[in-house]
Chain A
Amino acid sequence: MNNGISRSALCMLVLALVFLLGPFVVIFVAGFSADETLAFPPKSYGLRWVVYLFTVEAFQRSFVTSLLVGAGSTVAALAFGVPVAYALSRFDFAGKDAIKSVLTLPLIVPGIIVGLALLDLMVLAYALPVTWGLLIGHTTLLVPYTVRVVSASLANLRSDIDDAAVTLGATRLQAFFKVVLPNIRGGVAAAAVLAFITSFNQVPVSLFLTGPGVSTLPIEMMAYMETSYDPSIAALSTLLVLFTIVLVAFTEKLLGISKYV
């Protein structure tokens, strides 16, 4: 164990990677199956089930819902979270730690509890549309992410540059939008991508907040799996994996998102 890597440790690393990434290979192979039902290895290959995906109305509708909920709750979480991150990094005040703890609660409390609580005590109690519950539930879940990532970005920015702007005659608000925000736009964008992915993949919070007519893509996929045993979910999963790889690689190149995970 001097400077070299011990052979058994290396074996374990390879094993761990095979275990972590093997399932993706399986999904890719199964996604291009042309068989009637799911079998592995497939007997024939083709784009049959990828094409089929685009004919299923439930997938299309829920995909649009997922995009809208993801975009809406990401924007809302940034609007709520960026001011908090700014206040936490630029001011010293009593109760700072308490505020930090309260705002990390949504990461700790299981999503299924949040979903049920919102359904039972808001949507049903006040006869609100389910979509509201979905948007609110996702937004509260995403606020901790935006606060954390934007805070990390602000920590790398000297706080005297906004003071300098104020000294030169800008208001605090102008200083924020003209000096601070342009300097942390990488962090804000990384927060947005991370938040969007989190919302887009989210199941437990959405579980009770979807109903007939309103459903997100992951919920629709789970419902489809209960009744059908064809390779279409493998095809859809393949597309989702590729979509995520492209998105993550793109943001990693631009912003280095791995710093914030």
Chain B
Amino acid sequence: MRARVPWWLLLPALLLVGAFFVLPVLALLAGAFKVDGVLGLGHFTAFFNEPLHAQVYWRTLRIAGLATLVSAVVCYPAAMAMVKVPPPWRGLLTALVILPLMVSPIARTYAWIVLLGRNGFANTLLVGSGVISEPTTLLFTEGAVFLGLLQLMMPLMMLSLVSALENLPADVLAAAQTLGANRWQTFTRVVLPLTQEGLIVGGTLVFTGCVTAYITPALLGGPKVLLLETLLYQKVNVAGDIPAASVIAVLLLVTTIAVNQALKRVAR
């Protein structure tokens, strides 16, 4: 380690990110707090005076929260099984969990359109088995958005939990059982406290990912089931309302940062 860093190594990247990322984003966010050139919260009150907007915000939080919860409940046992799979299969499983992260989210979301559409698999099954007489609307519902987001983000929870569980010494579990703990007690008193960091990381990634996802709510929710991201797009491209879009941008950032910090605090 040498003491004097050649600044020309760092300067280009810092200038790039400063000029074309930090400044424009700050300027956009600042726009939310300026009404006719004067500082004020007018755009926020105007935004939340519209019941639809508050509803969209609440829906975004609800779906993201539920997806985080469900992915944790599913991935904990799944990850515990995965770390015990013997090596050659283990690598394959890891690859199968990582691969979806590399594939275009459009391709991944489109499968749900195929499954849930009017002539999709779910409707064919339901009508064929006589549960319903006519194809029903499954697409453009909150359920569809939830399923799509869960499938999109679950690998992140899975990978975080697997790496946390890998670092869990095997003899701790044996010790707990020797001392008479049943499975549930072993999980809540030993596994959970020792791997909570992985849960926090995974939870943050899944929640943030859901709040900031655009493709999935756009394709599976459409204009009927708007989330913050799709509402922002609509505000710009349909209404041309940049102040409202800046308000949503502030909400998106504040929400993700707040959840980030809150989860970090829980971990301490």
Instruction: Give the contacts of A221-261 with B (CB-CB under 8 A).
Output: 221-222, 225, 233-234, 237-238, 240-241, 244-245, 247-248, 252, 258, 261
Q: Which of B5, B10, B97, B114 is within 8 Å of A27, CB to CB? A: B114
**Contact pattern, B 67-108, Cβ under 8 Å of A = 1, otherwise 0:** 000000011011111101100000001111111111111111
Min C-beta distance of B196 to chain A, whole Å: 18
Min C-beta distance of A239 to chain B, whole Å: 9
Are B28 and A121 in touch, CB under 8 angstroms? yes
Are B229 and A204 in touch, CB under 8 angstroms? yes
A102 interfacial contact with B, CB 8 Å: yes
A151 interfacial contact with B, CB 8 Å: no
Name the B residues within 8 Å of A99 (CB-CB): 10, 14
Instruction: Give the contacts of B124-146 with A (CB-CB under 8 A).
Output: 124
**Assembled-state Cα–Cα distance A33/B15 (Å):** 50
Are B229 and A110 in touch, CB under 8 angstroms? yes
Are B99 and A109 in touch, CB under 8 angstroms? no
Min C-beta distance of B155 to chain A, whole Å: 7
Are A16 and B74 in touch, CB under 8 angstroms? yes
How many residues of chain B have a CB within 8 Å of chain A?
91
Are B111 and A8 in touch, CB under 8 angstroms? no
Min C-beta distance of A208 to chain B, whole Å: 7
Name the A residues within 8 Å of B77 (CB-CB): 6, 8-9, 12-13
B195 interfacial contact with A, CB 8 Å: no
State which size class the interface on A falls in.
35 or more
Min C-beta distance of B107 to chain A, whole Å: 4
Instruction: Give the contacts of B3-26 with A (CB-CB under 8 A).
Output: 3-6, 8-10, 12-14, 16-18, 20-25
Min C-beta distance of A68 to chain B, whole Å: 17
Instruction: Give the contacts of A67-110 with B (CB-CB under 8 A).
Output: 79-81, 83-84, 86-87, 90-93, 99, 102-103, 105-106, 108-110
A residues neighboring B (CB under 8 Å): 1-6, 8-10, 12-13, 15-17, 19-24, 26-27, 30, 37-41, 79-81, 83-84, 86-87, 90-93, 99, 102-103, 105-106, 108-114, 116-118, 120-122, 136-137, 139-140, 143, 147, 159, 172, 197, 200-201, 203-204, 207-208, 218, 221-222, 225, 233-234, 237-238, 240-241, 244-245, 247-248, 252, 258, 261
Offer 27 A-B interface pairs, CB within 8 angstroms, sorted by A: A1-B177, A1-B186, A13-B79, A16-B74, A16-B78, A16-B154, A26-B115, A27-B114, A30-B114, A93-B3, A93-B4, A103-B14, A105-B17, A105-B21, A109-B25, A110-B212, A110-B252, A112-B233, A116-B245, A117-B27, A122-B20, A143-B13, A201-B104, A201-B105, A237-B107, A237-B110, A240-B107
- A-B pairs, 6 with minimum CB distance: A23-B111, A237-B107, A117-B24, A91-B5, A110-B212, A39-B119
